[in-house]
């Protein structure tokens, strides 16, 4: 078995490391977007008294799991420049995704008649 350093160097040399970073970065953006959409939906459900029973329990499980994931990922984002790049990418992706999915961020309930 090759030493870890050789494996890393080989992955860098053939572009596998760049590909892995691109895939993981894209997956992280998708996870962030999904988490934000789930939180927004849960706020709507909570305001209307619809976040109940099994759904509430599963939602709480999801939130705890997402919190652990994002806490772990945050340990890899160590510089202010990287953090700002990440937040910029997240905002740009959110805007594009919401436009594509037709779920504007500025939604409000219809007024009572």
Q: What is the DSSP string of 61-80?
A: HHHHHHHHHHHHHHTT--SH
pLDDT for the residue numbered 61: 94
Backbone angles phi, psi at 95, to 5 degrees: -60, -45
Over residues 83-88, the mean pLDDT reads: 89
DSSP one-letter code for 102: T
Q: How far apart are CA 57 and CA 82, in angstroms?
A: 35
More confident residue, 94 or 74: 94
pLDDT for the residue numbered 52: 86
pLDDT for the residue numbered 100: 96
Q: What is the pTM of this model?
A: 0.80
Q: Could you tell me the CA-to-CA distances from 11 to 17, 39, 57 in Å, in that order?
A: 5, 37, 42
pLDDT for the residue numbered 2: 75
- 77: confidence class by pLDDT, cuts 50, 70, 90: confident
Contact 62, 38 (CB under 8 A): yes
Over residues 18-29, the mean pLDDT reads: 91
- 112: confidence class by pLDDT, cuts 50, 70, 90: confident
């Amino acid at each position: 078995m090759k030493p870890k350093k050789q494996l890393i160097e080989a992955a860098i040399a053939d572009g596998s490391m760049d590909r892995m970073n691109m895939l993981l970065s894209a997956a992280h953006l998708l996870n962030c977007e999904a988490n934000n959409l789930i939180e927004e939906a849960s706020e709507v459900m909570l305001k209307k008294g619809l976040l109940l029973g099994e759904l509430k329990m599963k939602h709480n499980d999801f939130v705890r799991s997402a919190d652990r994931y994002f806490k772990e990922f945050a340990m890899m984002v160590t510089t202010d420049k990287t953090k700002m790049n990440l937040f910029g990418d997240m905002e740009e992706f959110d805007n594009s995704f919401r436009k594509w999915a037709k779920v504007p961020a500025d939604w409000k309930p219809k007024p009572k008649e």
